[in-house]
Amino acid sequence: NAGVTQTPKFRILKIGQSMTLQCTQDMNHNYMYWYRQDPGMGLKLIYYSVGAGITDKGEVPNGYNVSRSTTEDFPLRLELAAPSQTSVYFCASRRLAGHLGETQYFGPGTRLLVL
């Protein structure tokens, strides 16, 4: 299993540009999450999904959109990038229940710089 994979690893955007951060997991997990980590801080939840076709907002959703058309993929869309969105973005997933339920497994992160 590759676990949770994210692309790209690093990206520079100009103010006002848009982009999609990709996230894929091969563990057949129902739940998927997007977090952002600002310098010197812990992670904050942007959006999450409990299954294909179902998404919901987290703590800091403004400026982002998500979709979940398959169990494996959970892309994060940035529209009209702003300097405040400079951050490291992590995707995570977890199984529905059972052994090790509630444990989130993280991808390697995408570092985004908006100039």
- Residue choice 20, 22, 44, 75 for contact with another protein (CB under 8 A): 44
DSSP assignment of 51-108: ETTEEEE-S--TTEEE--SSSSB--EEE-S--GGG-EEEEEEEE-SSSTTTT--EE--
User: CB of 104: closest distance to another protein in angstroms?
Assistant: 6
Q: How many binding residues for another protein (CB under 8 A)?
A: 26
Q: Which residues of 35-68 are buried (b: 16+ CB within 10 A; e: fewer)?
A: bbeeeeeebebbbbbeebeebeebebbeebebbb
92 binds another protein (CB under 8 A): yes
Residue number, 31 or 81, with CB nearest to another protein: 31
- Residue choice 36, 87, 109, 112 for contact with another protein (CB under 8 A): 109
11 binds another protein (CB under 8 A): no
- Residue choice 58, 61, 63, 75 for contact with another protein (CB under 8 A): 58
